[in-house]
Structure 1
Amino acid sequence: MKIQILLSIVAMSFVTAFAADPVLAISKNDKELQTLLKKKSLNKKDNERVKALLSDVFNFKRLAEKTLPKETWASLDDASKDSFATEFQRMVRNSSAKRLEMYRTDSTIYDAPKLKKNNTEANVTAHLWYKGKESVLVYKMTLENGNWMAWDLVIDDLSTARNYKEQFATILKTKSFGELLETIKKKADEIEE
């Protein structure tokens, strides 16, 4: 009985330690991604795994919400929000998988996470070097159900969420939300081919 209790405590400590460190959520995926990117060519299974690794740590529903004007997001029903988040994720995943060169690194160093809001939000800064050139990535993350999930990626001071928000706001000045959603679906389909 004492051994079972001890094992339970150790297991809970491990889970808590993992959840408490957002750097682990990022670095774990990055190690596997870098291994795949070192291959001379990727088969279909490898490509699907790359897509998963590029997006598994992201909360696409929250990122999708951040890309729309607040009043537009608030006006949508749950089904429309889910549909937008799904198609947005598909577009971003497919686009990211097409531009693998930007994910290759020779080395990566992570700064200690900057925790805030009762340790439920964090910024994780990664310094990536490839062919002697450094890029700085900042993952904006939240702790959700014991897992750290990113909702924005800032690459060399350019926010992914802000970039899409500006693009989508421009589109929504002349088109409806439905037309924006169709544009995103078509873009995801084109990139997927």
Structure 2
Amino acid sequence: MIGKGIAGAWMVVVLMVFPVLAVSMEPMAVVKAPIDAVIAILNDPRYRVADTRLVQRDEIWKSVKPMFDFEEISRRAVARNWRKFADAEKVAFTDVFSRFLGNTYIDKIQGEYHNEQIVYLGQNFHSDVYAEVRTTIVRETVEIPVNYRMRRGADGQWKVYDVIVEGVSLVKNYRTQFASILRKEKPAQLIERLNKKLAEQNRQLAEDG
């Protein structure tokens, strides 16, 4: 009990003296801050005016992009095929895949958000470098579990490498698709496919305003 009291006192000191470090070391804080920012952007009356959808989209992307480890997401999405990618192809794939994911999921958020509440259920540490943040999206009478699997990098920062929605892994979903393509095509062709899809997305977004 005494140890707990001392630990609590030291935690207050640490939070006061090193607030940025404290946030960077907590997986839940890494997830919660950008999600809160996104909700604020979605509720911002400035974006209810016509022709502000793309501006809102850019603000959402700026908020959420830093919380994701897109290189790790990309590597896991192609799994063992990653070694077939040349260094330049790894960079190109990570770049286009991250932007494709951003477009896909921000479009979904903009289209389906209706003042849902995000409940933060807790964080589990699986090791010194792996953790999972558990949340639930509360939508009227429906609750949707969304978990964020995270990895701590060499710089000590926690970042998301997979999102599990109702038990379905984002990474595994794309891994299945990419494995099918890479059985027949080379990495450069997969990158070309994604670039075409990204171009189509961007054209549609420009038309929708």
Range of TM-score over shorter length: 0.7 to 0.9
Give me the whole-angstrom Cα distance separating, in 2, the residues matched to 1:10 and 1:69: 39
Task: Give the drift of 1:11.
Answer: 6.6
Where 1:146 maps in the other structure, the secondary structure is coil
What are structure 1's unaligned runs of at least 5 residues? 1-8
Q: For this pair of structures, how many residues does the alignment match?
A: 184
Aligned residues of 2:133 and 2:147 also touching (Cα < 8 A): yes
Give me the whole-angstrom Cα distance separating, in 2, the residues matched to 1:16 and 1:74: 35
Aligned residues of 1:115 and 1:121 also touching (Cα < 8 A): yes
Give me the whole-angstrom Cα distance separating, in 2, the residues matched to 1:65 and 1:105: 34
**Per-residue Cα deviation, 1:49-96 (whole angstroms, up to 9, x for no partner):** 1123343211111000001131x2113222111111001001111111
What are structure 2's unaligned runs of at least 5 residues? 1-13, 204-209
Task: Give the drift of 1:16.
Answer: 3.3
- Alignment correspondent of 2:197: 187
Give me the whole-angstrom Cα distance separating, in 2, the residues matched to 1:55 and 1:103: 19
- Alignment correspondent of 1:176: 186
Where 2:68 maps in the other structure, the secondary structure is coil
The 5 A counterparts of 1:154-165 are 154-165=164-175
Question: Scaled by the length of structure 1, what TM-score is found?
Answer: 0.86
The 5 A counterparts of 1:74-93 are 74-93=83-102
Aligned equivalent of 1:28, options 17, 33, 43: 33
Where 2:122 maps in the other structure, the secondary structure is coil
Is 2:133 the partner of 1:124?
yes
- Alignment correspondent of 1:5: none
- Cα distance change of structure 1 residues 157 and 171 upon mapping to structure 2, 3 Å threshold: same
The 5 A counterparts of 1:92-171 are 92-100=101-109, 101-102=111-112, 105-118=115-128, 120-144=129-153, 145-171=155-181
**Per-residue Cα deviation, 1:131-177 (whole angstroms, up to 9, x for no partner):** 33111111010122132100000100010000000000111122221
- Alignment correspondent of 1:4: none
- Cα distance change of structure 1 residues 103 and 126 upon mapping to structure 2, 3 Å threshold: farther
Letter of the 1:125 counterpart: R
**Per-residue Cα deviation, 1:106-131 (whole angstroms, up to 9, x for no partner):** 2111122111222x210001111123
Question: Scaled by the length of structure 2, what TM-score is found?
Answer: 0.80
Is 2:75 the partner of 1:65?
yes
Give me the whole-angstrom Cα distance separating, in 1, the residues matched to 2:113 and 2:191: 27
Where 1:112 maps in the other structure, the secondary structure is strand
Q: Which runs of 4 or more aligned residues in structure 1 lie more than 3 Å from their structure 2 counterparts after TM superposition?
A: 9-13, 41-44, 101-105
Identity across the alignment (%): 20
